[in-house]
Structure 1
Amino acid sequence: MTKGDIIPDWDIQTWLNTDTPLSLSDLRGSVVVVHAFQMLCPGCVSHGIPQAKSIHQAFPPGKLQVVGLHTVFEHHAAMTEIALRAFMHEYRIRFPVGIDRPDPRGNPIPLTMQAWRLQGTPTLVILDAQGHVRLHHFGQIEDLRVGAVIGQLLTEAESISP
């Protein structure tokens, strides 16, 4: 996935914190921040999840949507849906989280992670209001850089909306 791409929709096994499944096409018109994480990933717990929570709290609903992608590529037996629900409760994660569908062919890399060519977790993907990738970053990324990208995309979205 590179800047400017429109990525394929995610392949989600289960959605948490939302009454209806989300699709990328349904979110067009909003800036979308996707935080790909694993609950046993130290970088996710120390940086990625707090950053995603801050973004979710800081920006107006409807203009920006934060979505978590729990994409498990290791320690599969420990990271079940029940464990994730408890984790989300303890960490007070309020934004929608999709559980990436496991590969039915036995590949340990889940389907969305494969389709998006993610290197690992934490990964931050920011889409503009038209669904184009504007930032794709593996690992820790500074809040200021993320905020600048989001601010630019929200300004762009305002200028093109009717």
Structure 2
Amino acid sequence: MTAQIGQPAPLLSVSDWVQGEPANFDLLPGRVVLVEVFQVNCPGCFLYALPQAISLHQRYADQGLSVLGVATAFEDFDKNNLNNLVRLAEKGEVVGETLLALSQRGELIDGRLPYRIPFPLAMDRLNKRGDNMTDDDILSFIRARVPDFDQQPEAHQQQIRKRAQHYFQSLTYRAETFERFDLKGTPSHILVDKHGVLRDCAFGAYPELEVLLKALLSEE
């Protein structure tokens, strides 16, 4: 089942909790839940999304907010994996493009984050992808991301189809939570209210997150 805004949120599907107690929407009744979905090899996740989530956790945990971090993988599977998530949680170590970007900005100490992530961290459940993507699957994927696809010239449609086919062929795994919430990339933010209803899913920078979060915390 694909998540729908305004409907009960499907549960997160994770393989391992590497930090904190296992948690999920059904285990956190009466609390607003922010799920920060990131990749270990994602500079933007560490430059702004995770620091934002940490700040919100520090300021609103006592007011009813639970923040969860879910590391996913839809590319660079040699870096976006459980071992590197454990290194991040236990030692603050970062890898790949994240290491390069944070090093260039002088944001690491001895190659490590100068802070620890204070909320629970889990690894998205990854399943080996089979060769069973149908034409309908590919079209659904395209139409969700290219709203005017059917109005494009036939030649351009074929180009988009080929790019989508190549994209799926390059994938090794399917990440369950990433697909369950139809996320578009990382960082992404899943926001669930006190009653377990999905209120927002957003990709990328999210400056209005705190305003929405405060509104949900004030609801009965």
User: RMSD of aligned C-alpha atoms?
Assistant: 1.7
Match of 2:184 among 110, 119, 124: 119
TM-score using structure 2 length: 0.65
Q: Which has the higher helix share?
A: 2
> Unaligned regions of 5+ residues in structure 1, if any?
none
For the pair 1:5 / 2:7, whether they are aligned, the reply is yes
Q: Which one is further off, 86-95 or 70-79?
A: 86-95
Aligned length: 154
Q: CA shift at 1:62, angstroms?
A: 6.7
Tell me if structure 2 keeps the 8 A contact 1:2–1:136.
no
Q: CA shift at 1:81, angstroms?
A: 2.1
Report the equivalent of 1:99: 123
Runs of 4+ in 1 over 6 A off after TM superposition: none
Structure with larger Rg: 2
Tell me if structure 2 keeps the 8 A contact 1:11–1:112.
yes
Match of 2:217 among 151, 154, 158: 154
Residues 150, 78 of structure 1: CA spacing in aligned structure 2 closer, same or farther, 3 A cutoff? Answer: same
Tell me if structure 2 keeps the 8 A contact 1:38–1:44.
yes
User: Any residues of structure 2 matched to 1:54-133 within 5 Å, and which?
Assistant: 54-61=55-62, 63-88=64-89, 89-90=91-92, 91=113, 92-106=116-130, 108-133=173-198
Separation (CA, whole Å) in 2 of partners of 1:51 and 1:15: 21
SS of residue paired to 1:51: helix
Separation (CA, whole Å) in 2 of partners of 1:98 and 1:60: 19
Report the equivalent of 1:41: 42
Q: CA shift at 1:17, angstroms?
A: 1.7
TM-score using structure 1 length: 0.87
Per-residue deviation, residues 15-42 of structure 1 (Å, max 9, x unmatched): 02213x2121111210000100001112
Q: CA shift at 1:49, angstroms?
A: 0.8
> Unaligned regions of 5+ residues in structure 2, if any?
93-112, 131-171
SS of residue paired to 2:179: helix
User: Any residues of structure 2 matched to 1:135-150 within 5 Å, and which?
Assistant: 135-142=200-207, 145-150=208-213
Separation (CA, whole Å) in 2 of partners of 1:69 and 1:80: 12
Separation (CA, whole Å) in 1 of partners of 2:26 and 2:63: 14
Separation (CA, whole Å) in 2 of partners of 1:22 and 1:86: 21
AA paired with 1:3? I
